[in-house]
Structure 1
């Protein structure tokens, strides 16, 4: 059968090479799998989508999109802790991943971490505004990120919540 050289194994275990390199799979093959996974996700077949994206994350853990997709699947399954882990991994790889930022913000908001959520939303909106500016300069069709659009709506909510908290804190301090 096929042999595994110690050099190949070392590269794989050290994280220098991915399983994708190891099995000599092209980016096109992984993209086709990702598209299939996304299709399952859109159909609400979360278990099938999860299986595919878990595989993709294993094959190449350095691609932020795979972690973001997996996080979105966990979020849809209401497994918020796992979702948070994946969004954090995605953002370690690509700090400008708008979808990961906004989704993480939504989970933080759920957990009552309002300031952290607001920060994620603001960052997502800022990144989107930079992209829109680039589109405008290039004379392209303006195409706001759907996640950033959600963040715009949610940041209004978080702002209101923060103002309420601030008011309560001031009232409490006033009673001392």
Structure 2
């Protein structure tokens, strides 16, 4: 780097430093209060670092585009990062559930779907997807005698999830609630057929 370049860079830094006034700077007390809020769970990492919801959703759009392009692992990394910045956003959990479901990681998918509906109970998609995973898991568990009791409990939870999805979309306009209706219909048909066979 030449002396002239160094001088220009130094002058630029001085101009930037002059633009920041004492009023613009945070006090030590403000910083301590923010860190305390983060540590106590009152602030997200995004809030602590000054990232807006708009900033995060801009990144989420890029992550969703990756998912649509079939770049599932790259999308997972984006949404895992977003989830670190704001673990209280139900959309991030819902998309992570979908990603993990595509990756065949049912337990991780279910964990994120459950977080999504806990944070936003009107999430028809997450209710349906959670119910579907629970149905699959309960069917697998029914194959083993020692897990039948747990399978029955999980089956009841699955029905509850599917029922929630249907209740949230009584007109059947959301494709996920239509899927929930179809699953409940198949289950009801199977139960009826078993009763007749008995």
What is the TM-score when the length of structure 2 is the normalising length? 0.71
Q: Which moved more, 1:71-80 or 1:43-52?
A: 43-52
Distance in structure 2 (CA, Å) of the matches to 1:164 and 1:44: 40
Q: How many residues align?
A: 156
Distance in structure 2 (CA, Å) of the matches to 1:159 and 1:74: 28
Which residue of 1 is the match for residue 157 of structure 2? 116
Task: Map Cα deviations across residues 94-143 of structure 1 (whole Å, 9 max, x no partner).
Answer: 122111100001101101243322221121011012xx5xxxxxxxxxx8
Q: Helix, strand or coil: the match of 1:84?
A: helix
Q: 1:120 to 1:164 in 2, by over 3 A?
A: farther
Which residue of 2 is the match for residue 44 of structure 1? 70
Alignment match of 1:98 (pick from 124, 130, 138): 124
Please tell me the root mean square deviation across aligned C-alpha atoms, in Å: 2.3
- What is the Cα deviation at residue 164 of structure 1? 4.9
Distance in structure 1 (CA, Å) of the matches to 2:91 and 2:126: 9
- What is the Cα deviation at residue 23 of structure 1? 1.2
- What is the Cα deviation at residue 163 of structure 1? 3.4
- What is the Cα deviation at residue 145 of structure 1? 1.4
Q: Is the contact between residue 114 and residue 162 of structure 1 (CA under 8 Å) also seen in structure 2?
A: no
1:73 has 2:114 as partner: no
Bigger Rg over Cα: 2
Matches within 5 A, 1:95-174: 95-112=121-138, 113-129=154-170, 132=171, 144-164=173-193, 167=195, 171=198
Distance in structure 1 (CA, Å) of the matches to 2:186 and 2:175: 17
Consecutive unaligned residues in structure 1, runs of 5 or more? 133-142, 172-176
Distance in structure 2 (CA, Å) of the matches to 1:161 and 1:86: 29
Consecutive unaligned residues in structure 2, runs of 5 or more? 1-25, 139-153
Distance in structure 1 (CA, Å) of the matches to 2:186 and 2:156: 12
